[in-house]
Structure 1
Amino acid sequence: MGIFADRADAGRQLGLRLAYLRAQDAVVLGLPRGGVPVAFEVAAALDAPLDVIIVRKLGVPVQPELAMGAIGEDGTYALDKHAVSFMKVKQEELRAVERQERALLDARVARFRAGRTRMDLHGRVAVVVDDGIATGLTARVACSIARKLGAARVILAVPVAPADALATLTEPDEVVCLATPRQLTAVGYYYRSFSPTSDDEVVWLLDAAAERLERARSAAGNPGLDEDVQILADGVRLQGHMHLPVPAAGVVVFAHGSGSGRHSPRNRFVASTLQRAGLGTLLLDLLGPGEELDRANVFNIELLALRLTSATNWLASRPDTASCSVGFIGASTGAGAALWAAAEQGARIGAVVSRGGRPDLAGERLALVRAPTLLIVGSADHRVLELNRRAKALMRCPNRLDLVQGASHLFDEPGTLEEAAILARDWFVQYLLPGDGGRAAEGSVPA
């Protein structure tokens, strides 16, 4: 069936549904291992800290995938007496399974909490996240642990769960679920990619979430530079607006196809999302006031690319941005210009994102792009989607095509622009900010 591309996609969609919690004192708690990649995206959407609640399923001895109970930290325990009776599980068999799972639980606690203190939940909103629910036993135990640790409110958030299992849950105060089938064969059936999550990935995600939150707090406490700028390019003064945290490590230059990028509400929205992640942004008008009146200039990809190169040179000339990694984000024809400029500048460009763009307009230069490139397209933008797929087939750099479900060309539908902004943010954080590279993003949408 595959309604989610992967766990990260499910987490982004779940984060949009939980946006009402952003102003509240929430802590996101992922269930290792598969629930943590989902929870990582939820925490990012809510600007909230990420922690784990460690729970182990008790499987029936002759059929381990069938749950007869669950155990968690602090001795929390749940047992499905009907399953135990129906499967004729003896008490000594039950105790043996519990001893085995308790040992594995303790090992995971030691692994995932090494060097970390457990997040204080007293008086806070605990958002318990898993990649899906089958029986609900592990979710019940996880919610009970959050309550025991002092959470004022417990919300269970999952991408998919059977309606009958959700109806039996009394432990959470609220349940948020994106898909509630009447019958659930397997959680993985609802994902196009459902590869196992490793312990190492869980540790990486916990570390990355902590770094991300620290950057956001630093940016909020130190607004840095925020001013209008001018960049001289071939005798034309390009108008721009730059936001720069202090210190700055990465700057994203916006390339808008119409030439006027500073005042685009969509660009400004995406820029604010990048800024909260600790990235600098340069919103730039690639054409002068007289030039943008000539429609032909909007499709002059070489001219727009030269203007982006001038912006990169300008950033390299400033003491506060000379050492920054530089990324491009392009919309419409600006995406073609961004990729053309990235091909010309090689290793100087750290990452490129196309949002509803025309990467095909970069032509033969697509094969020369070295910067990791993310193509974001609305699933309802059929013509542009096909052009992006053709462009992707020509690229040799690390690249990915992500669909925003239900979005048209301008991402006007509720929540779709926000999802596109989150995708762009994660890509730039991964490739432009120190300490966040080296991990390939989970899954991709096939071309």
Structure 2
Amino acid sequence: MDALIALLLIVFMLVVLGSGLWIGLSLLGVAVVAMQFFTERPVGDAMVLTIWGSTTSWTLTALPLFLWMGEILFRSRLAEGMFRGLAPWLNRLPGRLLHVNVIGCTIFAAVSGSSAATCATIGKITLPELDKRGYPDRLSVGTLSGAATLGLLIPPSIIMIVYGVAANVSIAELFMAGVIPGVLLALLFMGYIVFWALRHPDQIPAADAALTLKQKLYEGRHLLPVVALIGLVLGSIYTGVATATEAAALGVAGSLALSAIEGSLSRQRLLDGLASAARVYCMIGLILAGASFLTLSMGFIGLPRHLAEFIGGLGLSPFALMVMLVMFFIVLGCFLDGISMVVLTMAVLLPTVEAAGFDLVWFGIFIVLVVEMAQITPPVGFNLFVIQGLTKREITWIARVSMPLFRLMCAFVLFVYFVPGTVTWLPGLMQ
């Protein structure tokens, strides 16, 4: 009977999501149906209490602030200055300016917290410049698509905040846990560019005129504002001076100050950035509300317990469980965005994950890595949509040129499983 109820609800959810209804409203609708027809709990008060509790968490306040910070940077000239500051230092590295995609995404990820914002901002800067200089489109677009996913892994990360709230895990520890994996994954992407460039030297444009060290340092001054902002946000968290929410407020204040100093802050840009951040947060908030109520209804029906019992009864080893979860999230990522994936599955999976002996901080980074992979899987790969808007290319072509980076992420997930210290070492220093 439970299996039949689960199947009916899954089919109903797929139908509702396929109808084009907003994800948050779809989740609420499925939850109402589940509570009304399959439990004896009154729907109204349960829905009100759950939605209120899920959307009024103080920790969640960091989310709109980081979104606003990313919007301010997106509308200023700070991001453009990154390209000018990085380009002279990459002239002699195989692949040359293609590395700006990876390094630019890594730097911007550390101040935006959003994969889509990182992809859009760096793509607007690098893609026209790389095309003008004759770099191959497939590598320019593919490396941007993969590297932009670092916006989820390198702190401050929006999805880490959502996971921390859902799993009741310290967000500061999650932020620290993402640093080393984020840097290693960026280096892996750069290694791929070097390997490709050495195999296809004829497709990489000739180096620009060499600059002296003094000239390189002079051009590097454009990096200073962004580096200072990263230091302000992450330094305040890691030193214990500020919580994640307070650090987000410092990041907004710092980005406003830097934009004002460089002269790109206008009243209209300020209002546009605030409105855009509010729209994105309202979308996320609605998804969180719907997913929280759906989680409650599933709990009353008993599906999470039965699923945990089913998976536990399979007698899977921790490695087999991890492989199953990777495949599950990749398939789920074909239909849902990353935040929906996290809030929909955590209540169901966490008991099983804890029973398997996984550290919840480590598991948070694992989830972020797998959700990163889902960002570049069609048909609902957010990065693919963003790049399609920038390039007007077919989404199937963009997904195809992103596949080498996807395979690298798969290999990196295995590495993180067998070397968990890459995730847990920095958070361990806080304890």
Which structure shows the bigger proportion of residues in helix conformation? Answer: 2
Q: For this structure pair, what is the TM-score category when the shorter chain's length is used for normalisation? A: under 0.3
Which structure shows the bigger proportion of residues in strand conformation? Answer: 1
State TM-score, norm by structure 2. Answer: 0.23
State TM-score, norm by structure 1. Answer: 0.23
**Bigger RCO (CA 8 Å, 6+ sep):** 2
Larger radius of gyration: 1
